[in-house]
Amino acid sequence: MAILENLGKYRNTGLLLLRIGIGILFITHGFPKLAGGPEGWTGLGGSMKVVGINFLPVFWGFMAAATETFGGFLLILGLFFRPVCILLVFTMAIAALGHLNNGEGLQAASHAIEMGIVFLSLIFIGPGKYSVDKK
Q: What is the CA radius of gyration of the chain?
A: 16
Residue 51 belongs to some domain of the structure: yes
- Which residue from 62, 69, 119 is spatially nearest to 96, judged by alpha carbons? 119
**Is 135 domain-assigned?**
no
Each residue's pLDDT tens digit, 69-107? 999 999 999 999 999 999 999 999 999 999 999 899 999
Scanning 1-130, the segments in alpha helix (DSSP H) are 2-5, 11-35, 37-45, 57-77, 81-101, 105-125
How far is it, in rounded angstroms, from Cα 119 to Cα 132?
A: 18
In a domain? residue 11 = no
CA 34, CA 16: separation in Å to the nearest integer? Answer: 25
3-class secondary-structure state, position 43: helix
Per-residue pLDDT tens over the stretch 43-73:
989 888 888 889 999 999 999 999 999 999 9
Q: Count up the domains in the chain and report the number.
A: 1
Does residue 1 surpass a pLDDT of 70?
Answer: no
Residue 118 included in any domain: yes
pLDDT tens digits, 3-50? 788 888 899 999 999 999 999 999 999 999 999 999 999 998 988 888
Range of the domain at 66: 25-125
Q: Is 116 within the bounds of a domain?
A: yes
d(CA 123, CA 117): 10
